[in-house]
Amino acid sequence: MTAVDDRPVASIADLFENLDVPEGLKAELLRGEIVMMAGPDWVHNMIVQSVQDQIPRARWDRLQTQDIAIPGESSEPQPDLVVHEHGAFEGPGRLIPAPAITMVMEVVSKTSADRDYRLKPSMYAAGQVDAYLIVDPFAARCVLLTEPTGSGEAARYQVERTAKFGDPLPVDVLVLTLDTSQFRTLPRD
């Protein structure tokens, strides 16, 4: 005889909402898949701090460990940095709607490269986030994606601007030029 579980199946979003994430780990819901990863290292945190410090507080909210909601997606990513204009979102809640966000940033780690370069661009573009900045300490470069178009997995950014660490990177949506000269690198192995 086979036992059958008659409890209703919760949605993946409900499971994610109630997930008990062990200390030191980070969890994201990415297109219906729960992904856990180790917390960031020192180089990662210093890059996030450098970018955050260059974005003027007078106009922008600069948030770390902030979950976002992407309309039409079963995704609740937690970018390394979320930037939105004052008043674009006034809470409360755990999730900021992606269309209220001006820029998100991800710092590549050994385990996140595929997601950061291949999965997340279409997710953030589908959410109509104006700019997605990928900072890669292994390749010593930044990739800025702008002008989102499309929806779902077919969404993409139309413009890509790349800068090596040490080169200035204009970020037009924030009306600033990012100084990357203090970004540190990590070995590729």
Domains located in the chain, CATH noted: 41-178 (3.90.1570.10)
| DSSP string of 13-54, one letter each residue | HHHHHT--PPTTEEEEEETTEEEEEEPP-HHHHHHHHHHHHH
| CA-angle at 104, arms to 98 and 105, nearest 5° | 155
Whose CA is closest to 29, among 64, 67, 65, 63? 67
- Residue 94: pLDDT band (50, 70, 90) is confident
Token digits of residue 98 = 């992606």
pLDDT digits (tens, 9 = 90+) for 50-75: 999 999 999 999 999 899 999 988 88
pLDDT digits (tens, 9 = 90+) for 136-189: 999 999 999 999 999 999 999 999 999 999 999 999 999 999 999 999 999 987
pLDDT greater than 80 at residue 18: no
Token digits of residue 86 = 């004052």
Q: What is the pTM of this model?
A: 0.86
Question: Using H for helix, E for strand and C for coil, what is the string for 45-112?
Answer: HHHHHHHHHHCCCCCEEEECCCEEECCCCCCECCCCEEEEECCCCCCCCCEEEHHHCCEEEEECCCCC
